[in-house]
């Protein structure tokens, strides 16, 4: 995978996924569930050949930006998303106070 190729993130509300594609090939997926106005982020999957190329971070960042734009809060069950938010505290305000999900590292 070329680091120069753009990562394009798209949403599929029917399947409750966001996908990251590079050159038209899906290389990452974030799976979620809906709980009213809250979105439960359950799994982030990045294809082995696309790891360490920023796919996961780009995918999570764009998903969180989209959910922020929609006025949603999130419950984080995915360890990758938990670590991303811990490393990018500007997204911590999206985490639902009553249903945060898995604990954040300290």
pLDDT at position 3: 64
SS3 36: coil
pTM for the structure as a whole: 0.92
Query: In terms of C-beta density within 10 A (0-12 exposed, 13-18 middle, 19 or more buried), how is residue 84 classed?
Result: buried
Q: What is the mean pLDDT of residues 24-36?
A: 96
Question: What pLDDT digit, counting tens, does each position of 67-86 carry?
Answer: 999 999 999 999 999 999 99
* Domains of the chain from N-terminus onward: 7-94 (3.40.630.30)
């Amino acid at each position: 995978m070329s680091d120069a190729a753009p990562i394009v993130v798209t949403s599929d509300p029917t399947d409750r996924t966001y996908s990251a594609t590079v050159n038209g090939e899906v290389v990452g997926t974030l799976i979620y569930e809906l709980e009213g106005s809250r979105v439960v982020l359950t799994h982030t999957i990045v294809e082995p050949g696309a790891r360490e190329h920023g796919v996961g971070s780009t995918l999570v960042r764009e998903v969180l930006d989209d959910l922020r734009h929609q006025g949603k809060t999130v419950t984080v069950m995915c360890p990758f998303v938990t670590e991303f938010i811990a490393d990018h505290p500007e997204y911590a305000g999206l985490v639902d106070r009553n249903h945060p999900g898995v604990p954040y590292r300290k």
